[in-house]
Amino acid sequence: MINRLISQGTHAFGPHLLSVSDLSREVLTGILDTAESFLEIGHQSVKKVPVLRGKTLVNLFYESSTRTRSSFEIAAKRLSADVINISTSQSSVTKGESLIDTVQTIEALGADGVVIRHPSSGAPAFVSTRVGCHVINGGDGCHQHPTQALLDLFTIRKKKGRIEGLTIAIIGDILHSRVARSNITTLSRMGARVRLVAPPTLLPRGIEDWPAEIFHRLEEGIEGCDVVMALRLQLERAAGGFIPSVAEYARLYGLNAALIERRAPGALVMHPGPVNRGVEISGGEEFTASSAILSQVEFGVSVRMAVLYLLMGGGSEEVVAGGMTPDKGGKE
């Protein structure tokens, strides 16, 4: 599967991962299949393969993040890459250095790849036009979060056995959500029916062409859905006038076990995290535990291993020759 993906040419995937919009259904499937083979490594006692030995990955995070940054770090280390984490509070960014200067400096230090998380939409794409190393979008503004969408796809496929034909509701702040923008594209491309559920203030204008059906009322939006994905609500949205209060949002758009049972029994509940308990999702520990939220985190590592491996994992001929697939990779 990897061989097929790679042999389609690196132009099908890479040299950067900036947006999911260029990823065909075949490439998406290829990435998921690759992630599947990496998942086993996470269950071994020695969780390492040497496929990125000698490579350096830099996590450049202009926004705070625990799970995405750790997930990339663990993924890279399992592939034997060296990882350096830079976050804005401790970097020369606070001294006024421009984004381009910072990234070019990192490249000059020998980075082979850089994961960028940035509050400005389009920042990773802009960087990719100015550097020679691989650029991976770790979430940019309200634009894209490709690896989150990939791990969500992977989670759904794992838990539901397929993606094609499923009905999936995405609930919440679509307007400001990079997770939603990436997911709408990947889910619909894989054949799922996507619904967006949000108050009109949290939906962008100009989405008539999006492959999604719009709902304003939660109960109608999740009716009969196979997957229900809640988005994180930035609590400052109330101050911005998008919602009257967090409490009213929780009342109108919060998920709970009874509601799921009534409207979408058996639906897989997902959330990109971190969850505002009592806002997007309320109810006991059991409800959260029965959701896919922790699986998303676990699978995120395998998916990011797949992405890093496919982007940075050396020559495609080597792979095509069958010399190096992750499941055959040596153990250290």
Does residue 213 belong to the site contacting another protein (CB under 8 A)?
no
Per-residue contact string for residues 267-296; x = within reach of another protein by CB under 8 A: ------------------------------
Pairing assessment for the beta strands 167-171 and 268-270 based on DSSP bridges:
unpaired
Does residue 126 belong to the site contacting another protein (CB under 8 A)?
yes
Among 51, 52, 114, 123, binds another protein (CB under 8 A): 123
Is residue 306 packed enough to be buried (19+ CB in 10 Å), middle (13-18) or exposed (0-12)?
buried
Stretch that binds another protein, among 33-41, 43-51, 199-207, 288-296 (CB under 8 A): 199-207
Among 90, 94, 108, 206, binds another protein (CB under 8 A): 206
Size of the site for another protein (CB under 8 A): 23
Q: b/e map of 155-164 (b: 16 or more CB within 10 Å)? A: bbbbebeebe
Q: Kindly list the strands in the beta sheet with 213-215, ordered across the sheet, starting from the edge strand earlier in the chain.
A: 213-215, 193-197, 167-171, 227-230, 268-270
Per-residue contact string for residues 141-180; x = within reach of another protein by CB under 8 A: xxxx---------------------------------x--
Please state, in angstroms and rounded to a whole number, the distance separating the CA atoms of residues 272 and 148. 7
Nearer to another protein, 206 or 265 (CB): 206
Question: Going by C-beta distance under 8 Å and a sequence separation of 6 or more, which residues neighbour residue 205?
Answer: none
Window 75-114: residues binding another protein (CB under 8 A): 98-100
DSSP letter at 88 equals G
- Can you give the binding site for another protein, defined by CB under 8 A? 98-100, 118, 120-123, 126, 140-144, 178, 181, 204-210
